């Protein structure tokens, strides 16, 4: 059995504006994908579950991206909890988290690990 991940094209990098999320359907799950540009101009991709456990709604992709304590976060648009985009852990309540997904840029395609 191979340990290599299989990757699935989700969208092109030009489909996502910097520091704004988009939602994609991946393996019957809504995934929020973010292309974040840091202060040095470096582009990072993040993918987390779009379902907010506090509001019980698929709204994470509409949240505001920012930083708290050197962590890149998204603020849930309804109740404003912050989720670390790298780990999925809620900053205000570390017992709550959302799933994260392996994401990469391959050429011009943003891909998620299948």
Q: What is the DSSP string of 28-70?
A: TEEEEEEEEE-TT--EEEEEEESEETTTTEE-GGGSEEEEETT
As a whole number of Å, the end-to-end CA separation of the chain is 15
Confidence of residue 4 (pLDDT cuts 50, 70, 90): confident
Three-state secondary structure call for residue 73: strand
List 110's β-bridge partners, or say none: 11, 105
Q: Which of 32-41, 53-62, 88-97, 103-112 shows the lowest per-residue confidence on average (mean pLDDT)? A: 32-41
Share of the chain above pLDDT 70, in %: 97
Whether residue 35 has pLDDT greater than 80: yes
Confidence of residue 105 (pLDDT cuts 50, 70, 90): very high
Confidence of residue 1 (pLDDT cuts 50, 70, 90): low
Give me the phi and psi of 15, to 5 degrees please. -75, -15
pLDDT by residue (tens digit) across 36-74? 998 888 999 999 999 999 999 999 999 999 999 989 999
Task: Residue 98: name the closest of 78, 79, 74, 114 by CA.
Answer: 74
Domain range summary for the chain, segments of one domain joined by +: 7-108
7-108 classified as CATH 2.102.10.10: yes
């Amino acid at each position: 059995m191979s340990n290599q991940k299989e990757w699935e094209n989700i969208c092109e990098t030009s489909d996502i504006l910097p520091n704004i999320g988009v939602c994609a359907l991946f393996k019957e799950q809504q995934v929020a994908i973010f292309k974040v540009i840091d202060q040095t101009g470096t582009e990072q991709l993040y993918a987390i579950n779009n379902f907010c456990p506090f509001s019980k709604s698929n709204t994470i992709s509409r949240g505001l991206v920012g930083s708290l304590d050197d962590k890149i976060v998204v603020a849930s648009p309804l109740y404003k909890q912050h989720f670390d985009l790298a780990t999925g852990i809620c900053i205000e309540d570390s017992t709550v988290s959302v799933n994260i997904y392996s994401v990469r840029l391959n050429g011009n395609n943003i891909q998620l690990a299948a």
